[in-house]
Amino acid sequence: QVQLEEQGGGLVQPGDSLKLSCTISGRTFETLAMGWFRQVPGKEREFVARYRRGGGSRWYSDSVRGRFTMTGSSDKHKVFLQMNMLEPEDTAVYYCAARDGPSSAYGPAYDYWGQGTQVTVSS
């Protein structure tokens, strides 16, 4: 059974940086495609970044490309989301997700989800 746990959310000011981590239990991203999504109350869950199985190739949404970077630990038990130049529009609950198939920007394609971590960007 795969379990995901996010850490690292918090309250920051516009322009600040924050790094989220997602700990993977039960398997590693060697055999799982990983994704980061975010959700604001009343809105659809939004794709942020994704990572192919085994790491390497990554894709980002247009709204975060150039500011956010997704990486993975060498032991393949964690993925990270480095968020730079944060904007108030980045405020959301951020979720880590994993799936057994190819990586995807489509949330419902994912099989496993963390509980989410709140990121608030405000002056």
Angstrom distance (rounded) from CA 80 to CA 89: 20
pLDDT for the residue numbered 36: 98
pLDDT for the residue numbered 86: 98
Angstrom distance (rounded) from CA 52 to CA 103: 5
Structure tokens at 86: 């944060």
> CA nearest 75: which of 29, 11, 9?
29
Percent of the chain whose predicted confidence (pLDDT) is above 90: 94
**Worst-scoring range by mean pLDDT, 2-6, 29-33, 90-94, 114-118?**
29-33
The residue with tokens 């509980």 is 115
pLDDT for the residue numbered 55: 76
Q: Are 51 and 29 in contact (CB under 8 A)?
A: yes
Angstrom distance (rounded) from CA 40 to CA 121: 13
Instruction: Identify which has the larger pLDDT, 20 or 56.
Output: 20
45-104 pLDDT per residue, tens = 999 999 998 877 899 999 999 999 999 999 999 999 999 999 999 999 999 999 998 999
Mean pLDDT over each residue of the chain, to the nearest integer: 96
Band of residue 37 on the pLDDT scale cut at 50, 70, 90: very high
pLDDT for the residue numbered 19: 98
The stretch 16-33 carries a mean pLDDT of 96
